[in-house]
Each structure stands twice: as C-alpha cells, then as structure tokens.
Chains A and B, each alone.
Chain A
Amino acid sequence: DSGVTQTPKHLITATGQRVTLRCSPRSGDLSVYWYQQSLDQGLQFLIQYYNGEERAKGNILERFSAQQFPDLHSELNLSSLELGDSALYFCASSPHPGGSDTQYFGPGTRLTVL
C-alpha cells in the first residue's frame, strides 16, 4: 500500500460526459502528479501540482483539467469524453516539488467510455 488513495476504482460513462477523479496523497506529501495509462500510449504524464499550484504540464488535453485543494487532495476533471479517453488514470504523490524518484503511485481509476 503506497498510502496514495484514488476514487473511484472503476468508472463507466458515455461519450460526451464529464467525470471527476479524486486523489488523496500520502500524508505530508505536497506534490501530486496525474498520469494516463492506455494500451496504445503507455504511461503518460499529464500534470503536476505542488502545494496547490500547477508545477508542470505534460500531454494533457484541453478537455482535461486538474486542481489541488488546500487539504492537498487533487481532482482530475475530464470533459466531453471520447472513446479514446478510456484508460487507467494514476495519481502519484511526492514530498518534493521535483522528486521523480520519490513518486508513490496510487492504485488507479479505470475509466471506460462507451
């Protein structure tokens, strides 16, 4: 158990809909990272927040957005969903703003878009 929690574990929705994925980092970790894992694209970094502020951006679509709240939990919002958005979405947390080797991954949310 990494200490990172993600909810929900599974999500099934329809094209065009909007969903929110939630992540609670390990106790004391200030950084939260979001990743997308799909069969054809592998594991892709989406975005990082550190202590409430956006810190780094990766291959995140404009239809996707995220935020980190004062209690340090983070939410990833996916809108106008398409079939290709079906994937595993992982959250990772780290105590540091730039700790690539100290990222602890959550169990993921499996999103299925029908």
Chain B
Amino acid sequence: GQQLNQSPQSMFIQEGEDVSMNCTSSSIFNTWLWYKQDPGEGPVLLIALYKAGELTSNGRLTAQFGITRKDSFLNISASIPSDVGIYFCAGDTHFGNEKLTFGTGTRLTIIP
C-alpha cells in the first residue's frame, strides 16, 4: 500500500533539545495529520492541518502544511521524557475522505 516518506526514521536527543521531523509525498494532500503512538497503545492525534501554508501549534508542538501540499513538518520544542514514542504523519487526499495514508514513522528516544 501507499506510504508517506517520513524522516528521520529515528532520533536520539537529550532532554531539552528541539526536534524536527518531516513527511513528504508524491501526491497532493488536502489534510495533514500528526499522531503520536506510545508503546502498546494506539496513535493519538496531535495536530491537524487543513490549508497549504498553515502553521498550527499545540503546546510545545508546531506543525506546518507545506505550500506544495506534498509535505508537512512537525517541530517539538524543549523536549521532555514523555515525548518519547513514535510520531506518524498522515494525509487525506480528499476532504472528509476516510482513507488516511500514514507515514513510516519517526521513533524519538531521549537520552538521559
């Protein structure tokens, strides 16, 4: 099945550092979503983006909908231990389309 390319695949950072990850696609998306998945649990929605160029924040998280509509970025500022997990981007090609396409995931590890 189709997947979005997400990078980096994994990150090892120290507490307090900022984190950046991105997601690219060969197709245009009308909605970009960012999820976090903790071990043994399902993904939880962090941020939803609906317009090209849109910049949206949720606490220490900021995400952007790329102007080409083929990419999106997620930044986490001043990372804390509970930020550990796998971050997924997801795209929706049509408004209200149920068929989300997910990225390959970025695994974030915080080094003590």
Contacts and interface: CB of A to CB of B under 8 A. Distances in A.
Contacts of B90: 43, 100
B33 to A, nearest CB: 6
Contacts of A99: 96, 98
Contact of B40 (A4, A55, A92, A107): A107
Interface string B72-86: 000000000000000
B25 interface: no
A53 B104 CA distance: 30
Contacts of A103: 45, 100
Contacts of B101: 45
Interface residues of B, number: 25
A11 interface: no
A33 B98 contact: yes
B31 interface: yes
A108 interface: yes
A43 to B, nearest CB: 4
A71 interface: no
11 contacts: A42-B102, A43-B43, A43-B88, A45-B101, A58-B99, A59-B1, A90-B43, A97-B96, A97-B98, A98-B96, A108-B41
Interface of A: 2, 4, 31, 33, 41-45, 48, 55-56, 58-59, 90, 92, 96-101, 103-108
Interface of B: 1, 3, 31, 33, 40-45, 48, 88, 90, 92, 95-105
